Structure 1
Amino acid sequence: MDYYFKGDFPLMGKFLPLLQKDGEKAFKLIIFKLDSNIFSNQDALILEQYHLLNKEFNLNTLRVVNAGSSKGDPVYVYDLTCSTLYYHAKSNIELKRVLKIHTETSKKYVDSKLPYLNKFLLLSYPIPTALTSNLSVDELVDMMQKERRDSYILGTRRSISVELEIKEGNTFVDYRGQILNFDSLTSCIEYLSKLGLTIKRDTLTRYINNEKVFHNFLCKYSNKVLPDNFEEVGLIIDEYKKLKVDTELGLFKVNRKNKPILVKGKIFEKNFESITDTIKFFNTLNIKLDRKTIYLRLKDGKIYKDYYFSYK
């Protein structure tokens, strides 16, 4: 309903024109409270369908209940190490209904490198090695509400500051190499608009999450809004983004118990306790390595950058 009151929809049908003309006083709200121990979600839909077919309620242009998609976009709520699963929502709507996370907020944080409330990671895929938390839903909601209150007090929740780096070859501005700071995504979008570059908020958020350069601009979240362990969090997310694709190949099952890995080179031999440790080590050598590459090399035994990988 909040979308209707914002005026984001054209005045069509019967309900919206009447709402604009007479306001809320023209309507009355009746709430049916159904005991979840007795009634199911399907029962609620049947009740709604009954009222849609009732001729007394003549503002409905659609007479069939909107049951929604049978398959929503799942959201998994983890801690910052992806070792604990706090909650699994079957859709963004459920996430909003149960944990009070707005759908627009979930779009911003799901599969991003930005921790939600500096305590949680929102992912669109499961982490098989994560353990389910013993926190109840009410306890989790209380925890999130406390973090929201603290964020409001500190003044850090309403907006997320971003940096806009100007890359070589940029034709919109002539001060290349500089980094511009903005106190919010909105102010950054307004700046780009003044340059003649129109970009939607969702699009810019996606570019930030994917570290994508657009028109020789690179936008990213400001370091001051990120937690101290942000680099490690980003590495975890990057790994599992790759893993999300790899699960279709069934490769994760091979190393489900995180078996130690042996890496050999011409004059090099080293044991690693996990794939994460292996990736971190190769990062220190400035060699880009991800889970998919490791799984493939473990499977086919082929060489990668002069190194061989095998289970210990």
Structure 2
Amino acid sequence: RWRICFKYSLITFAEIWLKNTLFYKSSCHYYVHRYSTSTNNSSAEGDDPNKDDDDDDPNKILWKIILGRVGMTRYLHKMAKKWLLIGKPATPEILNTLLPHSNIKITEKGLKTLLHSPKLLITDLIDHTLVLNKIKRTSGAAGKTYIPGIYIWTHKVTGDKYVGSSSQLLSRLRGYLLRTHKVSGKFIPLLYAGPITDWTLEIFFVKELGNFRYEHVLEQYYLLDPSFNLNMVRVVNNPSGSNARPLFMYNRDKSVLYYGSSQEIDFINLLNICHTTLSKHVTKGTYYLGKYLFTREIVPSARVSDIHIVDLALKLELDRGQYNINKPINSLSQSVVLVDIKTKEQQLFYSLGKCVDFLKSKGFKADQRTLVKRLDSKLVYHGYKCYTPVHQDLVKSPD
């Protein structure tokens, strides 16, 4: 039997590996063509006259892509630099091209909506507490850490500008104001070199479209503006890079995929799941709220639910309320099934304490120690037979 299971698992693994390999190989050949074309164009423009001729060899380029030395990222950065030379405002087409990892197809109307997002301009940054409180009030998210949007720093004298984005604006901006961010690049050294009052801070709150990645679109729009001269990188960072920790939420038997993200923080921010609770269930493989399973593996056979992220968050909130009502008082509590010996009616209690309270409400003198002795025995306790839910056969046939 184990040989059959092993053989089946091996075949399944081989099928998945073959699909991924074919997809990856086709993707690599696509970027070999794109990259080799851009390399030839650069050569014609005289960017690198001493370039080794072997760099145009498609086979060598393919291996460089596999090894991560060239490919999609480098190609996108070249596209962004070429757009900067044009000097025109970014279009939906170029934004969609530069943000393949965001799974977003921005339209002209959507871009206009983003550009008219609620914003806040702060010219006096001397009091950090007042600044952060003002951001909270304006965003309408007082008491929450999840505030997505972009921020633009502008030097009052030189006009130097820097743009960035974050799904947690308060945390990011607090680091700038308190100067706790690591000194790197062009912007932070300049920000720390003089008083914070030399700068203005403009914030765009991205909340109307309801997708946590739309701040990347708005940031990318301004990154293609040459006036933002303090930004060294012109393509928004891919959140699914080496620092990402993909996570997926399924039902108990993993037949339905409810949600997946390249970052654990999205489960905390978007679904209001406690970090400690999330880590515990991911590590132990236990069921969240008794209904959901977290895993880092993709299950190809699972059906992808079309539930909206907001609806899913509301669903989890209702599940939490029901679970907190029914869950045991402590880890030592035991669920109990009482079966009336006369009516055969069954009642389920999620803790020994609640079962004892029920018996006392009937006028019986009950206590937990005696109740434990009666569990899964044939002895009657105040007119009831007592079972644990795991003994389903006993519950179904109490006689």
The TM-score normalised by the length of structure 2 is 0.28
TM-score, scaled to structure 1? 0.34
